[in-house]
Amino acid sequence: MIAITGVTGKLGGKAAELVSKKGIAARHLARNPQKATNYDNAEIVRAAFENSPEAIKALKGIDTLLMVSASESPNRLQQHFDFIDAAASAGVKHIIYTSFYNANAEADFTLARDHAETENYIKEKGFVYTFLRDNFYLDFFLDLCLENGEIRGPAGDGKVSAVARQDVSEVAAAILADPHQWENQTLNMTGPEDLSMTDIVQFVGKERGQTIPYINETIEEAYQSRKAWPAQAWEYDAWVSTYTAIQKGEQAGVSSDIERVLGRPATSLQQLMSQKTDLR
């Protein structure tokens, strides 16, 4: 039996839909079950990222768990640890975890460090694992262009192999359909090319017939401009380090893992833009 978390979110929700279409029975775990989509071959169960009797009960009988990382928060790492402990108590054998590209304790992108610690904890607890290390989402940068009309941040001329979110959902669904094939593997989820912020704005601007600027801010300017949105210090750090990680080259590098799982190349910026503009 498989279980999926994050089914009310974009990535987990799409993975749940794809798994259902494959005819695979699944248990969908949600903090707010009323927000989850109902499928004939899926059971929706209330569960939060915690080590509680409710969480353990929700995970009982589950062999393979797709653990979509929790929402960003100061206590996300502890939530992950608690839920992993609950999975261990429930007898879960295999955790497929949505991690982050270049996750390590010294990563410039602050939230990547939590993912590295989560990966380590899953291994320490003795689970069979599959880590899907997502790069930044290509959708994010495209939406900045289409909705904000600009990209701004201290990325310099650095490049990022940003990945389409849909690709990650498809990979997760494919692995859930045959988890044994992907045991104890770390898969890098990237797009098909390295792109700078200038590459992205120039391509989207050309396609839209408009000028979309990339404002290469200093770190100080980046913190200042983001104060337009009330937030906590850790959030500002994450937002700004998104770009400094790119500037330092930590988010560059193209992987063939998506093609290896899906049998097709990863979605390009051009393809994603065509999909998104068709929906508008």
226 within some domain: no
75 within some domain: yes
Amino acid at 225: S
102 within some domain: yes
pTM for this model (two decimals): 0.95
Instruction: Give the CA angle between residues 145, 150, 151 to the nearest 5°.
Output: 90
247 within some domain: no
248 within some domain: no
Q: Which of these, 235, 170, 166, 191, lies nearest to 10 by C-alpha position? A: 166
Locate 236 and state its tokens: 């500002």
pLDDT at 280: 46
pLDDT at 278: 55
Q: In CATH, what number is assigned to the domain containing residue 69? A: 3.40.50.720
pLDDT at 183: 98
78 within some domain: yes
For residue 17, the enclosing domain spans 2-135+165-189+254-266
In tens digits, the chain (280 residues) has pLDDT values of: 999 999 999 999 999 999 999 999 999 999 999 999 999 999 999 999 999 999 999 999 999 999 999 999 999 999 999 999 999 999 999 999 999 999 999 999 999 999 999 999 999 999 999 999 999 999 999 999 999 999 999 999 999 999 999 999 999 999 999 999 999 999 999 999 999 999 999 999 999 999 999 999 999 999 999 999 999 999 999 999 999 999 999 999 999 999 999 999 999 999 999 987 654 4
92 within some domain: yes
pLDDT at 277: 63
pLDDT at 162: 98
Looking at the 3D structure of the chain, how many domains does it have?
1
The answer to whether residues 184 and 129 touch, using CB atoms and an 8 Å cutoff, is yes
pLDDT at 254: 98
Sequence-distant contacts of 217-222: CB under 8 A, at least 24 apart:
217/152, 217/153, 217/154, 217/243, 218/154, 219/154, 219/244, 221/154, 222/152, 222/153, 222/154
